[in-house]
Amino acid sequence: MTEKRTELSDLGEFGLIDRIATNTKLENESTVVGIGDDAAVINHSDKQTLVSTDLLLEGIHFDLSYMPLAHLGYKLVAVNVSDIAAMNGIASQITVSIGISNRFSLEAVDELYKGIHAACENYKIDLVGGDTSSSSSGLVLSVTAVGYCEKGKVASRSGAKKDDIICVTGDLGGAYLGLQVLEREKQVFLTNPEMQPQLDKYDYIVQRQLKPEARMDIVHELREMGVIPSSMIDVSDGLGSELLHIAKSSKIGIQIYEDKLPIDKQTYDTGYELGIDATTAATNGGEDYELLFTISQDDYEKLKNHSDIHFIGYVKESKDGCKMVTKQENLVDITAQGWNHIN
Ligand code: ADP
Ligand code: MG
């Protein structure tokens, strides 16, 4: 946080909203009315509209002791864009609502919005509204993302068919191990504030935790390659949990192969150092925000040379259950140990 501190009470709610509005540029033709009226107006003409919302509470979903506010703003937008991407849609607008206490200065709010605006620019979406309130304790954030998809191209969780190929983008487990490293450094810092965090060798996985990217790039590429996934979900709670969602919604079974799971070397090395199995981090860790989807065998040729799409298994019949073939060729059940915020 910068040294200058301007109290939010000096601006008041409307002053703050004006400031947010002034710093917001609109880019999408579909945004007819943005911030400043009683409701935003969005025109998606003949396309279907997708809406997704998230509520994030300080101390439950994020920890400001290692999460810089600009990163939090970016992540907030990215995870909502990821939900739209997971429907094979293109995000076009967001609203952001904030509940904030006098613990935060105007400079802190500016940092948060710096991240929000950077993500909006990156994903080409417009901030078109929100709500602002004081909060008696922690920071409360809520984001609603709006997107669109041509009729017939929506990829839900329920469309996977027997013999489809299971695909996942990027790599898995990094965000979870990045969080473990950050938690460890926080403990070190609490014990001895003189100690500076040693994060260089964990840069990739820490980045995966602090600055995840929504895979909008993949949604655009799938369109270009003429592939509509038969089902899709984003990996927010962990691969195992997401696979079970698809299996349940599609009424199918699943078989994946441990040796096909995409895991970065830094994830492996850090897992080894912390005594956490990399496969466990990849299957049960969360927050990677990669896309998990199924395609029909006919589409394999179109995707097979894509460097960032990995083929990890097949869709089976419901009676086959959800299994992973381990490196030792044992069959183990896939389990869901997603993030559980309700303790
Ligand atoms: P209302 O009383 O109708 O809720 P507000 O004064 O709360 O109106 O909001 C005025 C305008 O500013 C609306 O367009 C609203 O969407 C927008 N707005 C309010 N808070 C935020 C925010 N935190 N971020 C972006 N837009 C906001
Ligand atoms: Mg309001």
Q: Could you tell me the pTM of the whole model?
A: 0.92
- Atom index in ligand 1 nearest the CA of residue 96 equals 24
Residue 15 CB–ligand 1 contact under 6 Å: no
Closest CA to ligand 1's atom 26: 129
Please report which helix (H) or strand (E) contains residue 309, including its range: strand 309-316
d(CA 157, CA 128): 28
Q: Which residue has the higher pLDDT, 52 or 9?
A: 52
Q: Report the distance separating Cα 137 and Cα 103, nearest Å.
A: 9
**DSSP secondary structure code for residue 199 in this structure:** -
Least confidently predicted of 59-68, 292-301, 330-339: 330-339
User: Rounded to the nearest 5°, which phi and psi values hold at 42?
Assistant: -125, 135
Residue whose tokens read 């466990």? 280
Ion ligand 2 nearby residues (CB, 5 A): 131
Pick the closest to residue 318 from 229, 246, 231 (CA basis): 246
Ligand nearest to the backbone CA of 19: 1
pLDDT at 337 over 80: no
Work out the pLDDT band at 342, boundaries 50, 70, 90.
very low
Tokens coding 343? 């303790």
Say how many residues make up the chain: 343
d(CA 108, ligand 1 centre) in Å: 19
What is the DSSP secondary structure assignment for residue 264, as one 8-state letter?
-
130 C-beta closer than 6 A to ligand 1: yes
Burial 226-258 (b: 16+ CB within 10 A, else e): ebbbbbbbbbbbbbbbbbbbbbeebebbbbbbb
Looking at all shown ligands, the one closest to residue 76's CA atom is 1
Tens-digit pLDDT profile for residues 226-269: 999 999 999 999 999 999 999 999 999 999 999 999 999 999 99
The 10s digit of each residue's pLDDT in 146-200 is: 999 999 999 999 999 999 999 999 999 999 999 999 998 888 877 877 776 677 8
Closest ligand (CA of 17): 1
